[in-house]
Amino acid sequence: MSEPSRYLVILEQGPDSWGAYSPDLPGVVAAADTREECEALMRDAIASHIEGLREAGDPIPTPTTTSTYIELGPAA
């Protein structure tokens, strides 16, 4: 059995909803009223996308995107 893949998901809070996308999986997106719902929809969207790629015999993208936070000192 292979190791599970971990794809970075970017979550963005808008004025009335949440949106999400994965830089390693172009076109895989989700939107919902709450962060939790958005994360769940994104998990389903990624799983469905990967399943579709497998069924079509297409390569599964290797997750390569990472993230970090850059901390800035107080404004001068």
Q: What pLDDT score was predicted for residue 13?
A: 98
CA separation for the pair 7, 22 (Å, rounded):
7
Number of domains within the chain: 1
Within a domain: 66: no
Within a domain: 68: no
Q: What pLDDT score was predicted for residue 40?
A: 99
The predicted model scores a pTM of 0.86
For 14, the domain range is 10-56
Which distant-in-sequence residues (6+ apart) come within 8 Å of 58 by Cβ?
A: none
Within a domain: 5: no
Within a domain: 41: yes
Within a domain: 34: yes
Within a domain: 52: yes
**How does pLDDT run along the chain (76 residues), one tens digit per residue?**
466 789 999 999 999 999 999 999 999 999 999 999 999 999 999 999 999 999 999 999 999 999 999 999 887 5
Within a domain: 46: yes
Q: Cα 38–24–28 angle (5° rounding)?
A: 40
